[in-house]
Amino acid sequence: MAIVTQFALVIGNKNYSSWSLRPWLAMKYAGLEFAEIRIPLDTPDTHREIRRYSPSRRVPVLLHDNITIWESWAICEYIVENFAPQLLPRDREARAIARAVSLEMHAGFHDLRQNMPMDCRNRFPGEGMNPNVRADIMRIKEIWRNCRHKFGQDGLFLFGDFSLADAMFAPVVSRFVTYDVLLTDVEKNYAATIWQLPAMQEWLAAASQEKEIISHP
Distance CA(60)–CA(25), nearest Å, equals 12
The model's confidence at residue 154, banded by pLDDT at 50, 70 and 90, is very high
Domains present along the chain, CATH in parentheses? 7-85 (3.40.30.10), 88-202 (1.20.1050.10)
Residue 156 CA from chain centroid, whole number? 17
Which DSSP state fits 207? H
Segment 18-45, tens digit of pLDDT? 999 999 999 999 999 999 999 999 999 9
Contact 37, 60 (CB under 8 A): no
Q: Is the pLDDT of residue 2 over 90?
A: no
Partnered with residue 69 across adjacent β-strands are 62
Segment 64-100, tens digit of pLDDT? 989 999 999 999 999 999 999 999 999 999 999 999 9
Q: Is the pLDDT of residue 1 over 50?
A: no
The model's confidence at residue 5, banded by pLDDT at 50, 70 and 90, is low
pTM: 0.95
CB neighbour list of residue 206: distance below 8 Å, 6 or more residues apart: 14
The model's confidence at residue 172, banded by pLDDT at 50, 70 and 90, is very high
Segment 133-153, tens digit of pLDDT? 999 999 999 999 999 999 999
Region label for 42, one of left (φ > 0), alpha (ψ between -120 and 50) or beta (otherwise):
left
